[in-house]
């Protein structure tokens, strides 16, 4: 191979590598934003549904004086949430907020809350405004639930992904250049090394085997970067499911015979592709309800018989507490490698 051909191959290889790593970065970066948005939607809609329920019981929005305390607790549980508030749809003023000084302020985007069952998001430099409308029984807008979130955690994850992408683009580019260099030096090697064919074959094999190794490592690093976002979203889903189950049991519905429980869990699984399975068990670990298949996430040791999670999966478990005592467990199995199928 002549020098000019080797340089052309190196250039084309560089373009290919950066297109590939850029595509992978875009997929993971887009998913990080989607995961974050879905988590926030769950939290905002849950708050909206609580207020909506109070209105359906005959209360008016401006008399829900317990909201500031509820909002403060929710903000305390979420490190990224700056404030949570509810505004009047007619005069656009904030009625109740987790930050007392916000009450009475006007919000300029109240019209975005007047579309039924909508969800809007406005992103600024360091924070994001999220909101959704509250409607009365006649489907007329009466208010808006809004929240301010910082974008620091998402930006931190994004910066880590940028570093991962650039590092592995450099590694893969270097491997390709070394492979081309082997072709380039072949005529020279013939003159000085007797077993030059063996030398070249070994070099080619080592370099070629290095490609899947580094690509696999790249995916592992991207998945590790994404893990905090997935973990936060799964915790939000877990809190919502446990709250609904606890509420049902407190209303005298037997835990082991909750109507449509598996359909309810299956809806959560279908809406969240990162979830491999959801299990509701009693205190002894006996499975009462299941969505998805847990078997694919576990493996057993043929020698010891010990069962453990496969690589790439993790299990988020939380107790279901009713009247200050545990009645069972919610387990959510997460497949952290679900994004790979989008690339291949």
Please report the DSSP string for 191-216 in residue order. Answer: HH-TTHHHHHHHHHHHHHHHHHHHHH
**What average pLDDT does range 81-95 have in this prediction?**
90
Confidence of residue 221 (pLDDT cuts 50, 70, 90): very high
Predicted confidence at residue 343, as pLDDT, reads 64
Predicted confidence at residue 331, as pLDDT, reads 92
- 286 or 122: which leads in pLDDT: 286
**What average pLDDT does range 207-225 have in this prediction?**
87
Show the beta-strand stretches assigned E in 70-224.
81-88, 94-97, 120-123, 127-135, 141-150
Predicted confidence at residue 167, as pLDDT, reads 92
In this predicted structure, the answer to whether residue 161 has a pLDDT above a threshold of 90 is: yes
In this predicted structure, the answer to whether residue 196 has a pLDDT above a threshold of 70 is: no
Same fold, 1-235 and 253-343: yes
Check if the beta carbon of residue 117 is closer than 8 Å to that of residue 182.
no
- 79 or 160: which leads in pLDDT: 160
In this predicted structure, the answer to whether residue 1 has a pLDDT above a threshold of 70 is: no
In this predicted structure, the answer to whether residue 155 has a pLDDT above a threshold of 90 is: no
In this predicted structure, the answer to whether residue 192 has a pLDDT above a threshold of 90 is: no
Q: What 3-state DSSP class applies to 276?
A: strand
Q: How far apart are CA 23 and CA 165, in angstroms?
A: 10
Confidence of residue 190 (pLDDT cuts 50, 70, 90): low
Predicted confidence at residue 78, as pLDDT, reads 79
Q: How far apart are CA 112 and CA 97, in angstroms?
A: 19
- Return the percentage of the chain with pLDDT > 90, whole number: 22
Per-domain residue ranges of the chain? 1-235, 253-343
Check if the beta carbon of residue 172 is closer than 8 Å to that of residue 215.
yes
- 307 or 225: which leads in pLDDT: 225
Tokens standing for residue 34: 């989607």
Mean predicted lDDT score pLDDT of the chain: 85
Nearest to 274 by CA among 343, 219, 226, 328: 226
The CATH number of domain 253-343 is 3.30.450: yes
- Return the percentage of the chain with pLDDT > 70, whole number: 93
Q: Which residue has the tokens 């969240």?
A: 272
In this predicted structure, the answer to whether residue 52 has a pLDDT above a threshold of 70 is: yes
* pTM assigned to the model: 0.81
Check if the beta carbon of residue 185 is closer than 8 Å to that of residue 191.
no
Q: How far apart are CA 279 and CA 281, in angstroms?
A: 6
Instruction: Return the CATH number of the domain spanning residue range 1-235.
Output: 3.30.450.20
């Amino acid at each position: 191979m002549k020098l000019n051909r080797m340089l052309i191959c190196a250039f084309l290889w560089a373009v290919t590598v950066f297109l590939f790593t850029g595509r992978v970065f875009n997929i993971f970066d887009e998913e990080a934003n989607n995961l974050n948005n879905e988590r926030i939607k769950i939290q905002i809609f849950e708050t909206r549904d609580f207020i909506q329920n109070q209105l359906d019981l005959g209360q008016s929005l401006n008399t829900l004086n317990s909201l500031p305390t509820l909002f403060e607790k929710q903000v305390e549980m979420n490190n990224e949430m700056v404030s949570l508030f509810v505004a009047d749809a007619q005069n656009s003023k904030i009625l109740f907020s987790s930050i007392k000084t916000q009450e009475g302020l006007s919000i300029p985007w109240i019209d975005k809350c007047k579309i039924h069952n909508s969800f809007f998001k406005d992103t600024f430099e360091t924070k994001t405004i999220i909101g959704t409308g509250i409607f009365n029984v006649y489907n007329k807008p009466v208010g808006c639930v809004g929240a301010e979130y910082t974008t620091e955690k998402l930006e931190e994850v994004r910066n880590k992904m940028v570093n991962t992408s650039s590092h592995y683009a450099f590694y893969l580019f270097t491997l390709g250049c070394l492979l081309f260099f082997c072709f380039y030096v072949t005529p020279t090697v013939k003159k000085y090394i007797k077993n030059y064919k063996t030398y070249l074959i070994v070099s080619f094999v080592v370099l070629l085997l290095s490609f899947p190794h580094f690509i696999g490592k790249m995916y592992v690093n991207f998945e590790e970067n994404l893990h905090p976002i997935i973990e936060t979203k799964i915790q939000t889903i877990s809190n919502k499911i446990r709250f609904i189950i606890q509420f049902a049991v407190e209303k005298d519905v037997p835990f082991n015979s909750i109507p449509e429980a598996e359909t309810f869990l299956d809806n959560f699984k279908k809406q969240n592709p990162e979830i491999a399975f959801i299990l509701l068990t009693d205190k002894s670990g006996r499975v009462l309800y299941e969505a998805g298949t847990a078997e694919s996430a576990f493996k057993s040791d043929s020698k010891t018989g010990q069962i453990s999670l496969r690589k790439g999966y993790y299990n988020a478990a939380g107790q279901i507490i009713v009247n200050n005592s545990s009645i069972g467990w919610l387990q959510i199995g997460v497949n952290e490698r679900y994004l790979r199928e989008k690339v291949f």
